Structure 1
């Protein structure tokens, strides 16, 4: 696999177009191909879904070799730009995070998500700078979506969360970020103020009570991600079906798939 500068350029363009970019996050090559088949204009991974699919917990525990292999498999499976969630970069070392970014660019990835979590903004700035250098060395304008957990983790009092988010967005943008991801924000006025207060395209994440897509676009958001919601829903349903089947042995409980074997096999047989 080789770096795909054209795909990265196209991914940037999707954040500047007239429509909200809605991403139904995938976690492996099969779900990526499925998301593309139902109309996703790009594929972004959910770190939780990728970790769970490999039997690891979310939270920087996935071995990076598995992360890179998953990204490469997804790039092979689809024709749209691919963005990979790298959590906090799986290291406190900016150099190591830059090396990971280089491997992902070489695998054909067009964008990444990288988060501050509970850490200091200085640490994420250093990681973003390392990622940007690594991507530029390969001639790729990687889309770096800087995630701040100000809302998700309650890192500031409610009355100052907008200001803290915008302060971090400024710093992350200066370090080389392409966009700002603010999971946990749902209030329309907060979304409007954040979108208006930064030049970085605003990414929000599906949460109960979040305004619908057209309303988010009017408020200034540019990207809506499902996050781990689809993976959570599927694992929950799978658990219930498997438990019922194991307890009853009733084949009718599990032979109710919305997609037939033939449909799914035909989808996976297509060459990207």
Structure 2
């Protein structure tokens, strides 16, 4: 393969800057396309991945975009979920995934890998340099899982937005609210719905692009949240949620599978290993 020569007059340094600009333009196009994929009643389906191999497999299955899942990335690397995977490993894994696909890639950044809002901003910058066009950030506290005060989470979102804007990238910040993880599934009620709407409105004001509400499974509450929230609604699919068709009809704009794909693959691997090893007995 013939190596491309530097453009006339640019010189080696100028050519490198030209290449960097070209890569960023490509990332910008991917980010813009990713925004457009969030359509209520025609939801973007994200079958979450954890490494370059799973990225290629899901892309081959017809995915329009790719999203990592923190649980899957952590367990595949031998770590527990909950920001126990060192950020250097998370970013390295992200970079390899981006290199393995032409699809837009968004990363599950858990609570933002930052004790402070400025720490979250620094993490966002690293994901952009690695090629991500978006992320998930949770609004619960490490350790006890309680919700952060709204204003504190807004500040984290504001600085994340500024960090992305400084890179000239329409980075998609999908804020996960753990409102529906604060009680038992049977306790899903009007107060929780009101809290989720309030947080969605506040997060939109701070610069978020989407609202992710895992744990919410009641179809009527999902439809009311989709109608009231100022951001595209993301729901996690599991055995307790309505069918994909019903979720789409409820106005959901994004569907995530979380750790489910990884867990399925590990069960298949275990069963296949058991079958193969059983011939020894």
Partners in 1 of 2:212 and 2:114 — Cα distance? 20
Deviation at 1:179, TM superposition (A): 0.3
The equivalent of 1:154 in structure 2 is 183
Deviation at 1:211, TM superposition (A): 1.6
TM-score by length of structure 1 reads 0.86
Partners in 2 of 1:17 and 1:79 — Cα distance? 25
Partners in 1 of 2:238 and 2:152 — Cα distance? 27
**SS at 2:99 equivalent:** helix
The equivalent of 1:119 in structure 2 is 147
1:93 and 2:116 aligned: yes
TM-score by length of structure 2 reads 0.84
The equivalent of 2:262 in structure 1 is 231
**SS at 1:161 equivalent:** helix
- Bigger Cα displacement from structure 2, 34-43 vs 118-127: 118-127
Kept after mapping to 2: 8 A contact 1:203/1:221: yes
Residue deviations 1:68-127 (CA, integer Å, cap 9, x gap):
111111111111110000000122211111111001111111110000122313332222
2:173 to 136, 144, 147: 144
Deviation at 1:232, TM superposition (A): 1.3
Partners in 1 of 2:166 and 2:270 — Cα distance? 45
CA RMSD in angstroms, aligned pairs only = 1.9
Partners in 2 of 1:236 and 1:58 — Cα distance? 19
Unaligned 5+ runs, structure 1: 251-272
Kept after mapping to 2: 8 A contact 1:148/1:182: yes
The equivalent of 1:44 in structure 2 is 67
Deviation at 1:241, TM superposition (A): 3.3
| C-alpha distance 60-155 of structure 1, shift in aligned 2 (>3 A) | farther
Larger Rg: 2
